[in-house]
Chains A and B, each alone.
Chain A
Amino acid sequence: GIQVEQSPPDLILQEGANSTLRCNFSDSVNNLQWFHQNPWGQLINLFYIPSGTKQNGRLSATTVATERYSLLYISSSQTTDSGVYFCAFDDSGYALNFGKGTSLLVTP
């Protein structure tokens, strides 16, 4: 199956800092999306981004399908951004598979 590498695995930021999270894929993927799991365990879809760039407030995401990677940008981070960020994809089937995640802690 397709391998996905999320980086970095862990990240600590001071409030106000910017960060870039990355997913690299071993082959072409479909239906790329990014999720945030908050400290209470809730999983929220941030972006559905099979290609191109999208922005939502302080967050933006870019997927370069031909280069097999996707990026999630967090600007002016806040403590509420803490949690785990996952990328997810399917490999032209129906299964939706997840990377291992980036654990982010934003300190005051």
Chain B
Amino acid sequence: DAGITQSPRHKVTETGTPVTLRCHQTENHRYMYWYRQDPGHGLRLIHYSYGVKDTDKGEVSDGYSVSRSKTEDFLLTLESATSSQTSVYFCAARGPDTEAFFGQGTRLTVV
């Protein structure tokens, strides 16, 4: 896992509730990413960060927000969870011009 930890690993939540997923890295990587993975869609980028307090949207950002107040932590928030956000979420991190490493994934179920 190259020092990348996601929490929680599994979560079941109700429609309409806010949910926050955490990604923690110990390698001081500059860039961090959140993806979702659904059958038939591969890995789709939700949001990414290119530095503390510097974030940008990916291709599937609607309904999600992120925050990065320190280098090691990148938080993904579902403001009001919907069933369409049931998915497996992956966090990744890398430095400039280097390989990326992934966390173990978080399986989120919205009921």
Contacts and interface: CB of A to CB of B under 8 A. Distances in A.
Interface in A38-69: 41-45, 48, 50
Given A33-B99, A94-B31, A95-B58, A42 B104 contact: yes
Contacts, number: 55
Interface residues of A, number: 21
Given A96-B45, A96-B100, A41 B56 contact: no
* Most A Cβ at <10 Å: residue of B41, B97, B99: B99
A21 B105 CA distance: 25
Contacts of B58: 95
A23 B48 CA distance: 23
Contacts of B94: 31, 96
A72 B7 CA distance: 32
A94 B50 contact: yes
A44 B102 CA distance: 7
Contacts of A83: none
Interface residues of B, number: 25
B71 to A, nearest CB: 15
B90 A43 contact: yes
| Chain A interface SS verdict (over half) | strand
B42 A101 contact: yes
A96 B33 contact: yes
Interface of A: 30-31, 33, 35, 41-45, 48, 50, 86, 88, 94-101
Given A45-B100, A96-B45, 14 more contacts: A35-B102, A41-B105, A42-B102, A43-B105, A44-B102, A45-B99, A50-B97, A86-B43, A88-B100, A94-B31, A95-B33, A96-B33, A96-B92, A100-B41
16 contacts: A30-B97, A31-B98, A33-B99, A33-B100, A35-B102, A48-B98, A86-B43, A94-B31, A94-B56, A96-B45, A96-B48, A96-B100, A97-B59, A98-B44, A98-B45, A99-B42
